[in-house]
Structure 1
Amino acid sequence: MLKDHPTMCLSPKYLSPKSQQTCLQLFKAQTYNTKDIQEQLHLVRLVSIDDSPCVYLDPKDKLQIFKSNNAICVALQKHLTKEQK
């Protein structure tokens, strides 16, 4: 379910430790439905992990990242920045 709906991973504090680990693995391996995250990003322009900002789209639709120590956020940032190039 997380693979098809990775936006659930954006609130890991509400997930079990096993689900949090699954989210991290999905983002690191880039084996998730990227359309789900892209739609979220274009809709709200800011993606946060729990309450910490992770990535956002600036007014020119250029992806910007926030410095983060959250492993899920860092994995997501790496994939999204790679996808933008």
Structure 2
Amino acid sequence: MFNKIMNYIKEFLENTPDDIYDFSCELEGLLIVHYDEMHEEQPKATEILNDETPDVCALGEPGMKPEEIEDFKRKLKIEYDKAMKAVV
């Protein structure tokens, strides 16, 4: 499940839709629902991903301007990269 979630984030970062609200809500929910399963697979990386990523997801709003979306992506990429560095 950890890899599935990370691939979901990677796909979003590479192919960002015009409206990111659905993604931000879905990602936040996935992190909560699948936390235990992800933690079993990659404990440290899951903890890192769940530290700040829910706060980043909370920034997603319908109808965001392109510069706001780029800021969201930048913050999400930072968390993604930190979690990837912790993968064992």
Question: After TM superposition, is the score higher than 0.5?
Answer: no
TM-score scaled to structure 2, two decimals?
Answer: 0.30
TM-score scaled to structure 1, two decimals?
Answer: 0.31
| Greater relative CO, 1 or 2 (CA 8 Å, sep 6+) | 2
More strand by share: 1
